[in-house]
Structure 1
Amino acid sequence: MLRHQWMLATAESCTGGLIAGACTDLAGSSAWFERGFVTYSNTAKTEMLGVDATLIATHGAVSEPVVRAMVQGALQHSLAQVAVAVTGVAGPTGGSADKPVGTVWFGWATPAGVHSEVQHFAGDRAAVRSATVHHALSQLATLLK
């Protein structure tokens, strides 16, 4: 981030700001961390990031179209050049047959484009959220190499 003089924005649902927290735990992060959006509710996703409510109604909040809209919205509503977004089911409740507890969609936006993927993490709520933070940031580092 520093090498390119890029700033980072985060858009988080299931992690509730833990990714932004992990970033700002690092001394000097103000040189590359621009802002974080905690968009836990569907209304927040729509109001803060501009996610189309129809996308949420059609695909559900935990979906590829929604995470892609979240990450693009984080860029559009910030001064950042890079963004990461997550939406998932941390549990212990809220899962379904097609989106069981531990399902997390990730989105990354860099100057090279938008990337998204789904992961399924095991464990309790804390384990799913911790794994989500780690994966979001490690994949971001890989994409920026």
Structure 2
Amino acid sequence: MTTSIIDGHVAAADLKRARSGISIYRSITFQPDQGAEWVVKNAVVKQNVADALLPGARGRFYLYNAFDVKGIHGVRTSDGQSIFGFPGNNQKLFLVLGIFNLIWVAFTIVVRGGVPLLGAAGMVLCIVGYIFMSKGQREAQAQFDGDAGHVAK
């Protein structure tokens, strides 16, 4: 997983939809304090962080990219707020689908005496996805916690 930091302000935020505590943006445009504007497309953001991503909001923004999912996982605003939220819906999805595939494989072994290749491949994909998303969450938390002394300007 990769993480990065932007010091600056939100120039624009185009919300696609918000449901179940997760907001998905078509794009979020940041204007860093130094350098050219930075656009994050299809950003997945937990609602507590999304509430701070209003145009004009100034501070330090923490970005992640894990298993082809990208977004903002933390904000330290210029008024002193520290907000962290990593969207864990994909982890839950991988876990549920992995359990479903495990049951399917076990059932097929008992009933037919063979392993369904699609079920086995799905189980492996779910395990890999769960591991990468969990690793991404740990790295995002470590990045945010490691920068705890920062005060946004």
Normalised by the length of structure 2, the TM-score is 0.29
Higher alpha-carbon Rg: 2
Normalised by the length of structure 1, the TM-score is 0.30
By percentage of residues, which structure has more strand? 2
